Structure 1
Amino acid sequence: MKLFAFVSVAVVLLAIGQTDALGGSPHVLCYYDGGSYIREGLSKLTLNDLEPALQFCTHLIYGYAGINPTSHKLVSNNEKLELDLGSSLLRQVTSLKKKKPDLKVLLSVGGDKDVVDPENNKYLTLLESSNARIPFINSAHSLVKTYGFDGLDLGWQFPKNKPKKVHGGIGKFWKGFKKIFTGDHIVDEKSEEHKEEFVALVRELKNAFRPDGYLLGLSVLPNVNSSLFFDVPALINNLDYVNLHAYDFQTPERNNEVADFPAPINELNERNPESNVNFQVNYWINNHAPTSKINVGIPTYGRAWKITKDSGLTGLPPVAEADGVAPAGLQTQIPGFLSWPEVCAKLPNPANQHLKGADGPLRKVGDPTKRFGSYAYRSADDSGENGVWVGYEDPDTAALKAAFVKTRGLGGVAIVDLSFDDFRGACTGGEKYPILRAIKYKL
């Protein structure tokens, strides 16, 4: 009888370990882009700068690896980085577990960081050949094992949806008339085949990882249509988690004429009903994904447009007559992109309150509805210059998304990424990683 009781307890404990592969709920999966290690200036994030974040992270996802288009093997995208360090950054990242033994560290492949020929997408050609999948899986297993990772994150670079524009009555009529002759834009003519082949890849990867207990996760990248490429019921049992990167629905690169919220929680009036966190989460739940495996991706940055005199004075989105990407921030140097500390420095503060022109402060507009996000703007001046509109994530909006995750009973949050949070504490009197902290405390 005692033996039976002991075996029963062991079976229950084993089952708990298998169903709760991420080590308890809620989880905070933190992305660390190794490319930030070799940036110049204040946006350079070293491992010493990274360490204070680890107290809040249950998982660290290091990226990004890529795919060799000839051999189909998983390779580092940061060869220059590895050489410059003189020793492998991969080993240094996984060695962080010595300081936080319960931290799980995964390697991410793709993540929109790998260079892909749109006419010959190596991520799709790999799926189409079972012979090509074998070297990919073997190399992935080898990299994970050799460098001491706990698993692999698949940020598979499927083709993106085209941005959908909001049409008025006449616009809708013309669009419908035009479709008779042109048809809808086809993202991928072989999407059904690729969907089945991706299921095969995930199944084969999980089978290779299972003897060593390695984790396997999926990152659904921004603007990748889940219904086209992911057979959720067939995938989900072979995945330990799914990170829904539900942001960047609107960016100046995707639509340079209209500035709008890049990452709303809920559907916006007269917008694409799919372009919000709630829709993306519901799609996976409605297709039988357990809520405990779903994590909501939260960015740590904003998207910025130039606006003109014709854009109006209120800043209320959607802002028409935008003029493409806004100038790059001083730290990240990416046009149309501002990290949270770069946004924070542009909001009204004692250092900029008397400045004018391109250095003048932006006007911040919060979100009393707690549904869409914050934005800030500076109207164009009399000469039509210096107009900027930015929709962004800050500690308050990130906390609202964490509250959404908690209310819906989801697995947790994926923060993308640590290098764009205020890891130096410039805007918070020295308190580092304010967005990450806000997420963790709300969960």
Structure 2
Amino acid sequence: MRAQQQNMKLFGLLSLLVGALAIGQINAAGNTHLVCYYDGGSFVREGLSKLTLNDLEPALQFCTHLVYGFAGINPTSNKLVSNNEKLDLDVGSGLYRTVTGLKKKYPALKVLLSVGGDRDQVDPDNNKYLTLLESSNARIPFINSAHSLVKTYGFDGLDLGWQFPKNKPKKVHGGIGKFWKGFKKIFTGDFVVDEKAEEHKEEFTALVRELKNAFRPDGYLLGLSVLPNVNSSLFYDVPALINNLDYVNLHAYDFQTPERNPEVADFPAPIYEPNERHPEANVNYQVQFWLNNHAPASKLNVAIATWGRAWKMTKDSGLTGLPPVAETDGAAPAGLQTQTAGFLSWPEVCAKLPNPANQHLKGADGPLRKVGDPTKRFGSYAYRSADDSGENGVWVAYEDPDTAANKATFVKAKGLGGVALVDLSFDDFRGGCTGGEEYPILRAIKYKL
């Protein structure tokens, strides 16, 4: 009898433990971030790439946070300012008030204003994001103006897409070119991104601390966006920063682009290292750096881009399309919607994949050959080899609903805070590629999280 009672007690304790774990899992799932970026510049585009507020609303049922960008810094006053006052601040129609007004319909949504984000013009010889850090007198007007903008227009906080100097791209060369680069490095040494990096790291920590102190009485959020190709070890003192940040979005994409690597096409945003050439150029490496430096996993969000990077293949690029593709000739022609060489939104990529509308077309209008990623480690790509005249060759690696879902699965397996989608305007927000289902990449992420 006593043994039976003990067994019943053990069973009861086990049930309580299982229940507690289940509740913990529910709470963890409920706290998962899905941070959605909305670039106000997309509101003034022409044609099918114009994202109006009516187009934006279907996404908000999935987003926990909406980051509106992008504000900038006035280099004279060091104040946070709109980069387009007519668009953002006009009485009655300004997007600042209109976007934050969406919280009336979506009360659980947090709306933040983002500064920088690689959208603010910077003089490379006099980077205002660095000079502002160097003086506490310069930081004060920035902090005061940031607090004022957030409060005046009803934002829930500020997202810091601080425009630190980028890593120099690692280029792959063959034959004599490779020998010359190695020989030249003996005399030139390693490329120095920022001679005052250690000072700027300490000063940025001070800025974040001072900003959070200014925001804390009002309960405003403060987030950090680690922009592509910014070296975290150079500019971020993770243990000193992390307690003053509500989240960190790791923009782990665009490692390889036609602008940075015109001669070799490769995966722009693999989850894991595809080879030994660029051990740091993958999502896992960037996440592990922050985890290894004592950042709580719950504060880390992996940013997923909704576009592809496209190179022009030449006759010397080969026929297989297997990356890395050597002897490429810079950026492929621009798409009809985004009109930026080497840059294609997901709908633009989707339209180039085999479909009934292009199956009989040839030349520059012919379909690309799609190659999926059964390993779920690197991403998808599609290509069209150059023709006999050396023209019409294209190689593009991109995010689609499947690859985005793979990254969301990675985030979940790592126990991270969530995903940041960059940018809503480059997802298929019209549903043209999916038979009317809007935001297929966003939906795929949400369903996995």
Give TM class, smaller chain. Answer: over 0.9
Equivalent residue number for residue 212 of structure 1: 218
The CA deviation at 1:80 is 4.0
Report if aligned partners of 2:89, 2:96 keep a CA contact under 8 Å in 1. Answer: no
Equivalent residue number for residue 89 of structure 1: 95
2:302 & 2:361 partners in 1: Cα distance?
Answer: 38
1:318 & 1:192 partners in 2: Cα distance?
Answer: 34
Which of 106, 122, 130 is the matching residue for 2:128? 122
1:84 & 1:231 partners in 2: Cα distance?
Answer: 39
The CA deviation at 1:50 is 0.3
1:173 & 1:89 partners in 2: Cα distance?
Answer: 53
The CA deviation at 1:173 is 6.7
1:246 & 1:402 partners in 2: Cα distance?
Answer: 13
Equivalent residue number for residue 436 of structure 2: 430
The CA deviation at 1:78 is 1.8
Q: Does 2:34 align with 1:28?
A: yes
Which structure 2 residues correspond to residues 406-421 of structure 1 after superposition, within 5 A? 406-421=412-427
* TM norm structure 1: 0.93
Equivalent residue number for residue 393 of structure 2: 387
In structure 1, what residue type is equivalent to 2:117? G
Report if aligned partners of 1:166, 1:272 keep a CA contact under 8 Å in 2. Answer: no
Provide the secondary structure at the position in 2 that maps to 1:441: helix
Residue ranges of structure 1 left out of the alignment (5+ in a row) = 1-19
In structure 2, what residue type is equivalent to 1:284? W
Which structure 2 residues correspond to residues 61-80 of structure 1 after superposition, within 5 A? 61-80=67-86
Which structure 2 residues correspond to residues 240-279 of structure 1 after superposition, within 5 A? 240-279=246-285
2:102 & 2:88 partners in 1: Cα distance?
Answer: 17
Q: Deviations over 1:141-170 (max 9, x none)?
A: 000000000000000000000111346798
Which of 232, 235, 239 is the matching residue for 1:229? 235
Equivalent residue number for residue 9 of structure 2: none
Report if aligned partners of 1:166, 1:270 keep a CA contact under 8 Å in 2. Answer: no
1:82 & 1:31 partners in 2: Cα distance?
Answer: 16
1:271 & 1:374 partners in 2: Cα distance?
Answer: 19
The CA deviation at 1:81 is 2.1
Q: Name which one, 1 or 2, has greater alpha-carbon Rg.
A: 2
2:413 & 2:388 partners in 1: Cα distance?
Answer: 47
The CA deviation at 1:178 is 3.3
Report if aligned partners of 2:172, 2:263 keep a CA contact under 8 Å in 1. Answer: no
The CA deviation at 1:179 is 3.0
2:390 & 2:416 partners in 1: Cα distance?
Answer: 46
In structure 2, what residue type is equivalent to 1:342? E
The CA deviation at 1:84 is 7.5
In structure 2, what residue type is equivalent to 1:339? S
Between 1:30-39 and 1:74-83, the stretch displaced more is 74-83
2:80 & 2:317 partners in 1: Cα distance?
Answer: 46
Report if aligned partners of 2:382, 2:396 keep a CA contact under 8 Å in 1. Answer: yes
Which of 302, 311, 317 is the matching residue for 2:317? 311
* TM norm structure 2: 0.92
In structure 2, what residue type is equivalent to 1:303? R
Which of 198, 201, 206 is the matching residue for 2:207? 201
Provide the secondary structure at the position in 1 that maps to 2:330: strand
Which structure 2 residues correspond to residues 83-162 of structure 1 after superposition, within 5 A? 87-162=93-168
Q: Deviations over 1:385-428 (max 9, x none)?
A: 10000000000000000000000000000000000000000000
The CA deviation at 1:289 is 0.2
Which of 352, 358, 362 is the matching residue for 1:356? 362
In structure 2, what residue type is equivalent to 1:40? E
The CA deviation at 1:180 is 2.8
2:426 & 2:317 partners in 1: Cα distance?
Answer: 29
Report if aligned partners of 1:305, 1:322 keep a CA contact under 8 Å in 2. Answer: yes
Which of 58, 61, 73 is the matching residue for 1:52? 58
The CA deviation at 1:45 is 0.3
Q: How many residues were matched structurally?
A: 423
Which of 366, 371, 382 is the matching residue for 1:376? 382
Which of 183, 190, 203 is the matching residue for 2:189? 183
In structure 2, what residue type is equivalent to 1:30? C
2:33 & 2:139 partners in 1: Cα distance?
Answer: 30
Residue ranges of structure 2 left out of the alignment (5+ in a row) = 1-26
The CA deviation at 1:334 is 1.0
The CA deviation at 1:290 is 0.3
In structure 2, what residue type is equivalent to 1:115? Q
The CA deviation at 1:87 is 2.4
In structure 2, what residue type is equivalent to 1:121? N
